[in-house]
Amino acid sequence: MNVGTSTNIISQLKGRDFLTLVDFSTEEIDYLIDLASYLKEQCEKGIVYEPLKGKTLGMIFEKPSTRTRVSFEAGMYQLGGMGIFLSTKDIQMERGESIADTAKVLSGYLDGIMIRTFSQERVEELAEHATIPVINGLTDLYHPCQLLADLQTIKEVKGKLAGLKLAYIGDGNNMANSLMIAAAKMGIDISIAAPKGYLPNQDAIEKANAFACDSDILITEDPIKAVKEADIIYTDVWASMGQEKEQAIRQKVFANFQVNQELVNYAKEDFIFMHCLPAHREEEVTAEIMDGKHSVVFQESENRLHAQKALMTALMGEL
């Protein structure tokens, strides 16, 4: 890939916020995936590429993280820049400074902000008042950074995106919402199986349906129906951060939504298994599937680094 050839897309992406995939075209997402693959190849060859030399990313964390923090911080270093970890306990937001004031202050110091938090509204307010790119590292509603890595992984393994079928089994959470948007944008058929009362966000469903010209979206309470002839099976934990008190209730509600050998037998023989991690083995997925030959979860996890690097390069770099 010649990273400088897509001049129009480069100019469209530079300086943008990355709050949800809703705001990005199929062509822009394709470019980010290809750029991530290019940067991965450069990394594997030991080639130094530093489009962010001298630049700094502020990383605000209201939710703890393994993959998000390490991929952004390591990614900035590899691209020649620096990431600064900002726990809300260490900055004035914890003591009542407004999001608007925080955005204006940080805009004077940094070249970009990544925030991992609970409320989508907090991310949007930060972006509204910042004059530098703001990246949604995760909210309770969406997880767009994870989807860039997911799409990169699917394309690496399957060689394409359009025309595949993805089955998501489990809680209709931020991953289910994000997968619907991504599938609709990229021409992937998606089936989501979740218990009654735990379905995806209705607004996200409507947005996905609005984009789904070349893909089908099925919401069901039947995991077998969702998984039939699937190319990809995806799941997530049954109780996300902030829902720990619901763990016991959710284990009962989701008991029939475990990804196990019996369920995956309904998928295509060459299906791949994906999980955004961390996983609770023997809850949403059995160890047999998690560690089996169809699992690409650690390839997917590594791609968080390369996808984040592509995103930061496109929004903040000089190509």
Question: Tokens 């991310």 sit at which residue?
Answer: 123
Co-location of 94 and 187 in the same domain: no
- CA dist., res. 230 & res. 206, Å (int): 23
Confidence of residue 44 (pLDDT cuts 50, 70, 90): very high
145 in a known ligand binding site: yes
- Residues 22-42 have pLDDT tens digits of 999 999 999 999 999 999 999
Residue 68 sits in a domain of what CATH number? 3.40.50.1370
193 and 124 belong to one structural domain:
no
Instruction: Exactly one of 16, 143, 275, 306 is catalytic; name it.
Output: 143
Provide the greatest CA pair distance for the chain.
55
In sequence order, the 6+-apart residues with CB closer than 8 A to the CB of 298 are none
Same structural domain for residues 263 and 310? no
Cα gap 273→89, rounded to integer Å: 37
Instruction: Report residue 4's pLDDT band, with 50, 70 and 90 as the boundaries.
Output: low
Please give the tally of structural domains in the chain.
Answer: 2
| Catalytic residue list contains 116 | yes
Q: Tell me what the pLDDT averaged over the chain comes to.
A: 95
Mean pLDDT of the 226-247 span: 92
Residue 57 is assigned to a structural domain of this protein: yes
Asked if residue 149 is part of any domain, the answer here is no
What does the alpha-carbon distance between residue 213 and residue 198 come to, in Å, rounded to a whole number? 26
Out of 16, 250, 275, 304, which one is annotated catalytic? 304
Residue 3 has pLDDT above 80, yes or no: no
Here the tokens at position 286 are 């059995």
Q: Do 8 and 139 fall within a single domain?
A: yes
66 labeled part of a ligand binding site = yes
Note the Cα 76 to chain centre separation in Å.
Answer: 18
For CA atoms 261, 266, 267, 270, the dihedral sign is positive
75-111 pLDDT tens trace: 999 999 999 999 988 888 777 899 999 999 999 999 9
pTM value is: 0.96
Distance between CA 35 and CA 152 in Å, rounded? 10
The one-letter amino acid code at 96 reads G
Residues 164 and 248 in one domain: yes
The verdict on 101 and 139 lying in the same domain is yes
Same domain for 164 and 246, yes or no, is yes
* Domain contains 150: no
What lies within 8 Å, CB to CB, of 249 at 6+ separation is none
In a domain, 152, yes or no: no
User: Are residues 83 and 188 both part of a single domain?
Assistant: no
240 has binding-site annotation: yes
Same domain? For 259 and 309 the reply is no
Residue entry with tokens 């590899």? 78
Residue of 146, 152, 258, 308 with catalytic role:
146
Residue in 210, 169, 218 with CA at minimum distance from that of residue 189: 218
Bond before 278 cis per omega within 30 degrees: yes
The lowest-confidence range among 5-19, 25-39, 126-140, 218-232 is 5-19
174 is in an annotated binding site: yes
pLDDT of res. 270: 98
Pairwise CA distance, residues 186 & 13, whole Å: 18
Please report whether residue 121 resides in a domain. Answer: yes
Give catalytic status of residue 276 as yes or no: yes
Dihedral over Cα of 106, 107, 111, 116: its sign: positive
Nearest to 161 by CA among 297, 293, 32: 32
Q: Is residue 235 a known part of a binding site?
A: no
Q: Let me know whether 261 and 280 are in one domain.
A: yes
277, 302, 303: which is closest to 290 by C-alpha? 277
Q: Specify the pLDDT at position 240.
A: 84
Q: Check 140, 171, 250, 276 and give the catalytic one.
A: 276
Nearest to 120 by CA among 29, 204, 232: 204
* Same-domain pairing of 166 and 138: no
The whole domain housing 250 covers: 157-297
293 and 216 together in one domain: yes
Query: Exposed/middle/buried for 221, CB within 10 Å: 0-12, 13-18, 19+?
Result: middle
Per-residue confidence (pLDDT) for residue 1, from 0 to 100: 59
Quote the CA–CA distance of 238 and 171 in Å, as a whole number: 6
Tokens of 84: 């600064």
